[in-house]
């Protein structure tokens, strides 16, 4: 018994696109946006990390959602081109029908971060603990999103009813909308990240009230 059009479409997307790699790029862009927002807010005069860090986390999530929408647009454009190619192939001679749609598969590399060593004494321990928890959640979110990418990204594509052959079958998913699907799948991990960013900001303020950066709190002068 053949599978439904929606299932066949999802499988087709998973085979033709590098979904885990695409998800990794989107998460990287979101992380860069968060760091950039924190630096911009500091430059604009928001010195309190208790507010700056959560706003940076929200900016990262907003960028991630925006990247998801861009991915949907990219797939939609690629699918339309492919459908047009199929129609063209159907109307030409067999000798001229060998038109293939090549897939674009960029390769990415990883990088490392090297930070200065700190003397963890007394209250500074809580800053380090909050920072390590936040970094663990960030890494965990990355792994989780890459893991679910082969199922999650095709689901978003179906939610926008891409492809004329699945429009009727995807009507229910389309009514729900891609944004609702995206938020349902990602809200909890990013909410945990938001809470931990608030915890980190609170720890910085509690340990060193005058600090505006994490580095300054780790080396807070004692009275």
209-218 confidence digits (pLDDT tens): 877 777 777 7
List, for residues 38-96, the tens digit of each pLDDT value. Answer: 999 989 988 888 889 999 999 999 999 999 989 888 887 777 766 544 444 444 333 34
List, for residues 111-148, the tens digit of each pLDDT value. Answer: 444 444 444 555 577 778 888 888 888 888 889 889 98
pLDDT in the model for residue 28: 92
Does 162 score more than 60 pLDDT?
no
Residue 173's Cβ-side half-sphere holds a number of Cα atoms within 13 Å equal to: 22
Nearest-angstrom CA–CA distance, 8 and 111: 37
Q: What is the pTM of this model?
A: 0.69
Residue 160 burial (CB count, 10 A)? 19
Domain boundaries in the chain? 5-99+119-218
């Amino acid at each position: 018994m053949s599978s439904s059009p929606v299932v066949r479409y999802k499988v087709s997307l998973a085979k033709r696109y590098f979904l885990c790699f695409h998800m990794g790029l989107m998460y990287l862009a979101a992380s860069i946006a968060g760091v950039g927002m924190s630096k911009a807010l500091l430059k604009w005069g928001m010195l309190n990390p208790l507010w700056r860090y959560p706003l940076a986390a929200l900016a990262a999530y907003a960028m991630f959602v925006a990247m998801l929408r861009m991915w949907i647009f990219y797939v939609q454009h690629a699918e339309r081109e492919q459908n047009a190619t199929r129609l063209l192939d159907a109307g030409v001679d067999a000798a001229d029908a060998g038109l293939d749609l090549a897939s674009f598969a960029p390769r990415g590399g990883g990088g490392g971060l090297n930070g200065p060593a700190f003397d963890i004494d007394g209250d500074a321990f809580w800053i380090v603990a909050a920072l390590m928890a936040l970094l663990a959640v960030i890494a965990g979110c990355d792994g989780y999103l890459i893991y679910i990418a082969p199922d999650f990204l095709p689901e978003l594509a179906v939610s926008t009813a891409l492809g004329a052959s699945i429009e009727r079958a995807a009507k229910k998913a389309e009514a729900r909308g891609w944004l609702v699907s995206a938020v349902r799948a990602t809200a909890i991990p990013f909410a945990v990240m938001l809470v931990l960013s608030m915890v980190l900001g609170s720890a910085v303020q509690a340990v060193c009230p005058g600090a505006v950066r994490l580095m300054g709190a780790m080396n807070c002068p004692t009275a």
